[in-house]
Copies of this chain bind each other. A is one copy, B any other.
C-alpha cells in the first residue's frame, strides 16, 4: 500500500460540514469561516514512549491525540470544528492504524470535528494534531484575565491519570476496579468542551490542566499578574486517590493531586458574584465544579494543607526539558 492509498483507506471520509470547500486530497484544505467568529488554533505533538506507551491500545492513542487538543479548545471556550493530523509511522501496520483511526474518529464524531488534512511519513511513531475552533468575536477565554478576589475552580477530579501512571510504573498499587477507573482517565481523557463553551462571559481566565494543577495555575497567575491561595482539602479527588492521601502513600498521592498532569480538567477563575451561575452550570454539565481557593494580589501560589499550614515546597509539575 502506498502513502496515498493509506490516506484514502484510513483517513479520508465523507465530509458533512458545508463550511469545508476542500478537504483531504489537495495541497491545502479550504474552509469558510463563520462571520462574526474568531478562530482558535492549537497543536499538540504526542511521541511514543513519552505521551503514550509503546504497548498502549492503538484506539486509546487515537483518542488521546485528539482529546488533548479538544481540551485546549475547551480551555479557550472555543467550539472545535476542524483538525489536521500529521503522523510518523515506523511501518505500515494495518491493524494498528485501524485501531488508531477508530479511536480518533469515534471522538471526532462525538464532537463533530472534521479531519480536513494531514501528512504521513515514515519515522519514529509520533502524531501531531492541529485543531481549529470557532468562538464569537472577542469571547475567547484566555489566561490573562484573573483578578485578585476571584474564586478559583477546577472541574471533575484531579490526579487520577498520574496515579494510573504511578501504578503502571510500579510506584503504587491499586485494586483492579480502581486501577481500571484511573487508567481510563489516563488513556481516554474526556475533554471538557461543553463546559468551556458555557464558561464564556463567566470565567475571567481559564487553562486546561495538562502538566499539573500548580504548574498550570502558575501560567494563569503569570499572565494575569496575580497570585493564588488554594487549600489541599478542597481539591476534588476520586475515591482511590482520597484513600491513598489519607493513609497509605500521602506524598505520592499529593503529588498526583497537585502536580500530576494529564488531567484535562479545566482550572478557571470567576468573580464571587458568579457562584450561583456556576452552580447551575455544574448541574447542567453533570460534573462537579469545585472552588479550591481564590486569587490574591501577591505573586506566587500558597497551598495550605488540611490544617491550614502552607506547604513549604510544592511537588514539581511536568516539564519536558526540566
A residues contacting B by CB (< 8 A) are 1-4, 6, 21-22, 25-33, 35, 37-45, 47, 49-51, 72-73, 75-76, 78, 82, 84-89, 92, 116-124, 126, 128, 130-133, 135, 137-138, 140, 142-144, 206-208, 219, 223, 319-322
Contact = CB atoms under 8 A, between A and B. Distances in A.
B121 A28 contact: no
Copies of this chain, tallied across the complex = 2
B121 A124 contact: no
Given A47-B88, A86-B43, A22 B122 contact: no
A219 to B, nearest CB: 8
A321 B1 contact: yes
Contacts of A35: 35
Nearest to A84: B43
A28 B126 contact: no
B121 A45 contact: yes
A301 to B, nearest CB: 16
Contacts of A87: 45
Given A27-B207, A28-B72, A123-B124, A3 B319 contact: yes
